[in-house]
Amino acid sequence: MRYILRRPDLLALALTALLACPPVVWSQAASSRRLSRNSPGGSSVSRAADGVVIPGPLRSFLRMAGISQKVPAEEVMPLLARNVFMQGYSQQKPTEFLLLLSRYVQQARELRILAGSSGTINVRGCGDAGTLLQILGYRVVGNCQDKGLTLATSNPDLAFLTIDSGFPLMTLEESLQKGVEFNYSFPSTRVPVLMRESDWLALDRKRSADNLVDLMVREPGIARLYWAMSRNDDETNLALARAPGLARLLPYAPVLDFYGSEISIRSGRVLVPGGAKAEPVWRELAGAGPDNPGEFVSHLVSKDNGWLAAYYDVLSRINVSQQQHLTEPARMKRLYEAFRFPQIDPPATASVFRKAPGLLLLFTRVEWDPDGQPHVPGGIDLWKEALGQKSDYKLVHTWAKRARGWNNSEQLLEAMASLSRLDTDTGPLQAYLTLSEIDAGRPGNGKLSADACRLLTKNFQRFGTWYLVFSEFPELNDESITRFMNVAESIEGISNVTLRGNVVGAMQANVGIWQILARQGEIPAAELNDSWMKAMGPFAKITSSSQLFDAARSSVSEVMKSAGATNISQEALVDLMAGPPQQTAEGQRIRQEIGTRIRNVFEDQRLVSLDTLFGLSDGLAAMAQGAPAQQNMLALAGELREFEMPRPIFTNSEKISWAPGVYSTHHAELQVKTDLTKVIKGPGTKSQLESARGQLSPFLRDALVGLNYAYYEPPGAQVLHNNSLFVRSHDFSGLTVVSTERSWMPPELMGVGTPAGGGAYLMGSLSDLPYALASTEQDFIAPENIQALIWKELVPDLLVSATVPRWWSISPHELHAVTLYQRSGEELLLMAEHDAALRGQVSSILANRMAPQRLETLDKSLANNEDAIAILAQTIPADTFYLAAEYRRRYPARVASIGPQNQQLDTLCSQYPSDTTTQRLSHDFGVPHPVLARSYAPGLLYVKPFPSFGGASSRLFGESWESNNLYWARLADEKGYEPAALNRLVPELTRRMTAKIFATDLEDWPALERAMQEAGQEFMQGKVTGFPSATTTTLLQAPDGQPQIPASGGSR
């Protein structure tokens, strides 16, 4: 697993006991107000009934414990617990991380004693510094009160702790140099404990621990239970502590950790997914009723190796509408039986990540027919065939046999639930999900035909990642799908590997350009199919390189024409890709900037322009017809030779020896050798001239691929500008590295950390290019916080949400509507404080987006009439947007009476209905969900934050974070920017936000929110320079009419 925070990763010894040294101060962040605003899980202060003392400044302890220094005090113990069981042991032995923490605690204890009752370490001079320096592991070099005095390491182990914990060594050194007093406040800090410390100490049968920190570090099992329960709400925890009790839960800590956070007990009853109608089934499945929480939970977590708990967790996470379908008693029971089929081994907790992410995907996205049955694209018989296809999984074969007798869609859904336990991205479940998404976007009379579905399922393992384009553009009909399949099939049949790679690259690049222009609305909806067919058609039968050149040229020309271009040139294409023409001066300027960015990448990759290639091809073709060489031909040919390989540092033999298995730069080297001057000077035969034209096809491939790369340039990109081989090294087939062809698979980043390999490159297709580029460039964003690292599992999704959507067709009214939706949601929250009925409505709506713990905290804040900032701190922009939208849908008649923000929104919606629909706002301010919704189409899915999974499903967490673009849009509106400015603002603000993320664990969404808010505040305060000036500034009005801090919603 990758870390989010830096910490040494070496083996070590055990931790010694902590000593609680008085005096003790409560962490500053432990006030009720601060806690409620800073709680990552939304935990309330009520849980801080007890406290544990951390010796030394909290900041130092957090550094050593690998915890973000921005977490609230009440999160210290849960995150310590989490880090201990996640990182503290390897093969049942303590790791270096734990050893360092142990040593630090010892050092802090000694320093606390030195600090004495005043809590301040005081050194009056060199003669007084001996003890302190001994504890710190340093010695004095030079004379006292001399500016040449320095502190040097005497004990490296202690010195490391001194440095790593952030002790102000330089201040001490300077004090000794100047002969002035050194004073350093070194208080111990009391941090809250979940329930009572004694509850946890009682779990320690050895009775060897004096306090909770000591206990946790020694007992990772207890630490895991603590972490798991810290994700639950208070009422549930209190009920669980009573029955079945912590001791009975302890063996099931892993189950509770992975699948327990959605368990909610209220008034002595477990609130099971599906509600009262589902209770009998839950009673049957678990062997105990929800009316007996202790027994129910005990049975739930212990049943079937954790699989029942996993099933419960998934059903709890989906929205109410899906729950209603899936918890139909008979269906729910059958689905679970299928899910646990055929065996319950390995356990649901058998790895470091949760199992079966596919079940959550399936239950989140399954579509329902009007008769309440699960939708089956293509009909049930098709899926019987699909399951019968070749598979490496025994479970698929088992279901294929079972499927022979199927006669309804429920049976298919059960099979899919069962197959969700397979660890694959190309199985029948993924095919079903993908086809369901394609069908969901199509109108009722335009659903996928059985034949189209058959074609799609048959080829899913090979071409499935390309189906995302059919989800994104449901206008593409079955004929377009068939054309794609036929062309892809035809390309697969090209036996010459080099030619095949070039055809694949050029064809996929043109599809990419089509996708860009279609997404930007430059290809009219009515033209999508026609343009698609014309883009595909030329690639249908390629047998030579010169044919490829003509095909790629014809294809891209057709795409450009469909977008209205009359002049087929590189500039015209860049102009189209930069965005549709803008009416305002600002819009024109920003569009020009984006065009320049595309050109910059193209030039930095030292690619040859389309104009040069087309000019050369035309000239050679004319020569083949007997015409003399045109005057500029030699100059054009000279441009081909301008590309040079980077100056070598390694010899070829060193590369072979030191970078084995890394793809060579064969494609680029061939280009370096390409010299058309001889054939141009002639005389050349027709065959030679045709061959020369063929030599242009690799250059054309790279130019088209490079334009795709350039368009999706992530903010802060460096590889695109500094590794001139990056585009040329794109290895479509992958056959030099892997045994199976990768030409249609998602691109993978190769060659990382191989200095002699010539740099990283992408291997595979262009299907998931925006994400692949974001993964490539993310580590060039420098974190601002000491100890922070780039969050690899999340940041690419953030960057994709900033590079794929564009904002060229947004009206000012639409932009303002985004703001008003968020403000209206905030207003609803604030009004709910004084209105119990409204509070219930608000809570009911937000239950679709919030886990029980967050919802409980918000409910308490509302019931306690906490101040506006505290209330709003419980939510994020996607919450308030959803709240307002859903409230308007459910209670349209009451909207106008809520308050001025809702009134303004209502008025705006009445005046500009088409600009303000939630569908439109979702499309324009949502984010792509290529894994969650199998499409790069931006949208808002309004799901709860997904938990972290392994593999490709690790992207689900990032894709479920939908707040960024809503928030950036609101800021832009409140600062008076034109909507087109978002094309520049969003990437830059996202980059800045990324640099500010200071997270501890893989589900640390509060860290995301903090970073987003910090970036937003900098922007609002004018600290982000270089943006175009805004025209006006709108002021937020609080419900009472008082000015409000702009965009305060969700601030922590």
Q: How far is the CB of 588 from another protein (least distance, A)?
A: 18
Q: Which residues of 616-630 are buried (b: 16+ CB within 10 A; e: fewer)?
A: bbebbeebbeeeebb
Q: How far is the CB of 271 from another protein (least distance, A)?
A: 42
508, 765 contact by CB (below 8 A): yes
Q: Which residues contact 500 (CB under 8 A, 6 or more apart)?
A: 491, 492, 494, 733, 743
Q: Which is nearer to another protein, 149 or 222 (CB)?
A: 149
Q: How far is the CB of 633 from another protein (least distance, A)?
A: 9
Q: Which is nearer to another protein, 35 or 802 (CB)?
A: 802
Q: How far is the CB of 170 from another protein (least distance, A)?
A: 5
Nearest to 294 by CA among 314, 254, 265: 265
Q: Which is nearer to another protein, 681 or 1023 (CB)?
A: 1023
Q: How far is the CB of 548 from another protein (least distance, A)?
A: 21
Q: Which is nearer to another protein, 390 or 673 (CB)?
A: 673
Q: Which residues of 762-771 are buried (b: 16+ CB within 10 A; e: fewer)?
A: bbbbbbbbbb
| DSSP track, 680-704 | HHS---HHHHHHHHHTTHHHHHHHH
Q: What's the CA gap between 782 and 718, in Å, rounded?
A: 12
Q: Which is nearer to another protein, 9 or 291 (CB)?
A: 9
Nearest to 270 by CA among 303, 316, 231: 316
Q: Which is nearer to another protein, 464 or 759 (CB)?
A: 759
> What's the token pair of residue 603?
């030039």
962, 941 contact by CB (below 8 A): yes
795, 917 contact by CB (below 8 A): no
> What's the token pair of residue 112?
């606390």
Nearest to 974 by CA among 985, 962, 983, 990: 985
The 3-class secondary structure across 801-844, one letter per residue, is HHHCCCCCCCCHHHHHHHHHHHHHHHHHHHHHCCCHHHHHHHHH
Q: How far is the CB of 483 from another protein (least distance, A)?
A: 33
Q: How far is the CB of 777 from another protein (least distance, A)?
A: 8
Q: How far is the CB of 9 from another protein (least distance, A)?
A: 6
Q: How far is the CB of 99 from another protein (least distance, A)?
A: 12
Q: How far is the CB of 604 from another protein (least distance, A)?
A: 6
Q: Which residues of 401-425 are buried (b: 16+ CB within 10 A; e: fewer)?
A: ebbeebeebbbbbbbbbbbbbbebb
Strands 269-270 and 1036-1037: unpaired
Q: Which is nearer to another protein, 670 or 752 (CB)?
A: 752
| DSSP track, 162-190 | HHHTT--HHHHHHHHHHT--EEEE--EEE
Q: Which is nearer to another protein, 5 or 499 (CB)?
A: 5
- Long-range contacts of range 774-778, CB-CB < 8 Å, 24 or more positions apart? 774/712, 774/714, 774/799, 774/800, 774/803, 775/749, 776/714, 776/719, 776/749, 777/714, 777/716, 777/717, 777/718, 777/719, 777/720, 778/714, 778/994
Q: What's the CA gap between 175 and 181, in Å, rounded?
A: 6
Q: Which is nearer to another protein, 386 or 573 (CB)?
A: 573
Handedness of CA 783, 789, 793, 794 (dihedral sign): negative
Nearest to 3 by CA among 773, 963, 1004, 802: 1004
Cα-based distances in Å from 329 to 269, 276, 308, 582: 19, 10, 15, 55
Q: Which is nearer to another protein, 213 or 1015 (CB)?
A: 1015
576, 535 contact by CB (below 8 A): no
Q: How long, in residues, is the chain? A: 1052
The 3-class secondary structure across 744-793, one letter per residue, is CCCCEEECCCCHHHCCCEEECCCCCHHHHHHHHHHHHCCCCCCCECCCCC
H runs (alpha helix) in 833-899: 836-846, 852-863, 868-872, 877-890
Q: Which is nearer to another protein, 100 or 815 (CB)?
A: 100
Q: Which is nearer to another protein, 405 or 753 (CB)?
A: 753
Q: Which is nearer to another protein, 243 or 749 (CB)?
A: 749
Q: How far is the CB of 162 from another protein (least distance, A)?
A: 8
Q: What's the CA gap between 72 and 1011, in Å, rounded?
A: 15
Q: How far is the CB of 947 from another protein (least distance, A)?
A: 24
> What's the token pair of residue 419?
């197959």
Q: How far is the CB of 504 from another protein (least distance, A)?
A: 24
Q: How far is the CB of 156 from another protein (least distance, A)?
A: 5
Q: How far is the CB of 610 from another protein (least distance, A)?
A: 9
């356990």: which residue's tokens?
Answer: 347
Identify the bridge partners of residue 77 per DSSP, sorted by sequence position: none
Q: What's the CA gap between 308 and 316, in Å, rounded?
A: 12
Q: Which is nearer to another protein, 400 or 788 (CB)?
A: 788
> What's the token pair of residue 179?
């002969």
Q: Which is nearer to another protein, 221 or 638 (CB)?
A: 638
The 3-class secondary structure across 1006-1020, one letter per residue, is HHHHHHHHHHHHHHH
Q: How far is the CB of 73 from another protein (least distance, A)?
A: 22
Q: Which is nearer to another protein, 345 or 642 (CB)?
A: 642
CA 652 to centroid of chain Cα atoms: 39
Q: How far is the CB of 643 from another protein (least distance, A)?
A: 8
Q: Which is nearer to another protein, 195 or 610 (CB)?
A: 610
Cis preceding linkage at 8, omega within 30 = no
Q: How far is the CB of 177 from another protein (least distance, A)?
A: 10
C-alpha atoms less than 13 angstroms from C-alpha of 889 in its C-beta half-sphere: 11
Q: Which is nearer to another protein, 7 or 701 (CB)?
A: 7
